[in-house]
Structure 1
Amino acid sequence: MIDTPARRGRTAGCPDAAAGPAAAFAHRLWDLKRRAGDPSYDRMRGEYGALASKSALSAAARGRRLPSWDTTWEFVRVLEVGLLGEPEDEVRARWRAAWEQARAQAGTPSPTPTAAAPEPGEPGVTGTPAESAGRARRRAWRRAPVAAAVVATALLAAGTIAGIEALRPEGGTEDPRAAVPPPLIAGDASEFGGDITVPDGTEIPTGTRFVKTWEFRNTGTVPWIGRYLRREGSFGDGDDCRTPHRVPIPRTMPGESVRVSVEVRAPDEPGHCQVYWKMVDGKGRLLLPGHRAVFFFVRVVA
């Protein structure tokens, strides 16, 4: 291991690329994270919207075992596509090929829908055939509830995140038993309906004003009155996209859908920007803390 300085007094290690296929693959992930500014795993999840647990993201870059494709893609998507602004299709194809090659070299079997759940200590990783078989025997009695929880988690993600692909059942990423913060008001719930204008990755000329619109559905039992989408964070090249601090959400009764728009001014220099939003009340309190932020992502061109 090659020691490098880390946060909060810990020592981060770069995996030795010569230590085997899993370590070599982790070395590439570790290098990508450094090139993207070395954001913390908490930030990758909370601010940038990675659909994988902190422990799964961390384990992916340690190189002890090969991460699942789902964990790999979430790691790569938020860094190389989100932070570095590389084309999503090209990035996905390149990393998928590298992951398949590493999996073949490591002798890791292809994931199947009936595979055993990952170990709680390192969710979202796959091991050798012997390790996988051992975990399968230990967890055979609880496969059904774990599978149901994983499906429920994937459905929740699909309904609450703008511009992020829902996790497929291939390989687990989250411990389904992990606690999800409850809504501020019991019975409150939201489902993301889609991007109405300016799909993610749209090219916007420098200095241009545009309106981004999303659609949401009130799937709970609580009326939405006096609510807002508040800007929670952003990243990009140089100057940021300029937006209001918050925008109002029209009154929405349970079962109804609503469209929420925000006026944006693109930066004066080419690059890209991505801005995150979450639902708050008039006092600024997060109403659905367990939901991921919605966002827009644009490429700014001269």
Structure 2
Amino acid sequence: MKVLYIGDVVGKSGRKAVLDHLPRLREELALDFVVVNGENSAHGFGITGAICEQFFDIGVDVVVTGNHAWDQREIIDYIQNEPRLLRPVNYPEGTPGQGMGIYTAQNGQKVVVIQAMGRLFMDPLDDPFAAVSRAMLNKRLGENVDFVLIDVHAEATSEKMAMGHFFDGRASMVVGTHSHIPTADAQILPGGTAYQTDAGMCGDYNSVIGMTKGPAIERFTTKMPKQRLEPASGEGTLCAVYVESDDATGLAKRISPLRVGGRLIEVGLN
């Protein structure tokens, strides 16, 4: 199976990068399944139903979120009726929406997508290791599911890496998000799980993690939030992680970072 995970989409520049490049990538790479992190796609804060529909219309199969899931209040009603939009699985019981879903890929195979949110330097949520383990009960790679993708939305690289090794051999792919900077550690772990600490963001990299530089710098230099942060509006880079899995085992055969457009050095598939 050929799966593409697209990192945090920030504002209009990030949305445009995805809308411009994904239809071509889906065709050129013969992708079976596409997941996008959309939690910053609505002007940098949250996501709306209309943006989700834009993503679905161009070939996105699942949209995941994170700590900004509820920034746009309208999404609360939308997520309860749209199983293709996920929030972290370790939110408290009774939180609207779901943190895990089972979907059918383009090639007819079953894909499990789970999102967890880290706890180090973030909200004190339930244990993500235990929550993902519960979500994976009775889901066995190469037996009753064909691909398991775990998104770890976390601040600490150590927590993301620990999640990768903890689920090595049980997931096809563990990918980190939230830091908005693509890491250089794409690898297949010893048990056969594809791993990258952070997929990076889709957005304008002439910025501070996607936001205009001036107000963001002022917050660090004066400790006074003088004005609301706004997404940078230059040309966006699409940052993603591409994984191919073995159809018999569900484990990874290949992982490659992918970067297209904007300021970063482009990285394509060899």
Normalising by the smaller structure, the TM-score range is under 0.3
- TM-score (ref. length: structure 1): 0.22
Higher RCO (C-alpha 8 Å, min separation 6):
2
TM-score, length-normalised on structure 2? 0.24
**Structure having the larger proportion of residues in helix:** 1
Larger Rg: 1
